Amino acid sequence: MPATILVVEDEPAIQSLIEVNLRRAGHVVQLAADAEAARRLVLDALPDLVLLDWMLPGMSGVDFARLLRSEARTRSLPIIMLTARAEERDKIEALDLGADDYVTKPFSPRELVARIKAVLRRHAPQATDDAIELGGLRLDPATHRITAGSTEVNLGPTEFRLLHFLMTHPERVHARSQLLDQVWGDHVFVEERTVDVHIRRLRAALEASGHDALIQTVRGSGYRFSTT
């Protein structure tokens, strides 16, 4: 699945340089020229990562990052700060307030794309195209294929995203509400029992190869992908 990157940058030339390169790297790009516009986009739907310029008209990038970190819904949203200020103390301030990385202007587009990939790998692996192998299952987001040994497993798009999320966050219990946020989108209003329906379909698809036991129900809590 392509990752959605929200780019908050007020200089049009830099904005389009970033946009072109991120699209070329396969990302979906949202653009905002100030924190106010960015906030509206974030309220509408959470991106997978925010690329945030430090110096913005109105609210600064640093204050916007602080705001995102202060609210439960956006607390763990990956943030990369973008800045012309190369001083050590600025870098420390950015990392202190919870930015996941820091890129100094002028930057090479290739380096920027690589840094974004690294942050996504750490914080939103379900938003990368990395193939993942676990418990005898192999899921490849790039080709949209799942194999169990030499057998291909066919899944619908929702079950695919669900399995991708579970496999990239294994051995942890996910409440139905968390799965809805992560797999369906955090502003999509569907009932929690919808999750159960798709878990059932996922298990049914994995049953033939005996991999359905990887999807565990944790009574009263939610679901877990576990190889033990």
Give me the residues that bind Ca ion (CB under 5 A), please: 10, 53, 55
Cα 25 to chain centroid distance, Å, stands at 15
CB of 69 to Ca ion, least distance (A): 20
Count CB-CB contacts under 10 A for residue 130: 15
Q: How many residues are listed for the chain in this entry? A: 228
Of residues 7 and 166, the one with the C-beta less far from Ca ion = 7
Q: For residue 223, what are the CA distances in angstroms to 45, 80, 196?
A: 24, 31, 9
Whole-number Å distance between alpha carbons of 192 and 127:
23
CB of 117 to Ca ion, least distance (A): 24
Of residues 5 and 56, the one with the C-beta less far from Ca ion = 56
Of residues 10 and 93, the one with the C-beta less far from Ca ion = 10
Residue in the block written with tokens 């676990």: 134
CB of 55 to Ca ion, least distance (A): 4
Of residues 17 and 132, the one with the C-beta less far from Ca ion = 17
CB of 61 to Ca ion, least distance (A): 8
Report yes or no: 80 and 6 within 8 Å, Cβ to Cβ.
Answer: no
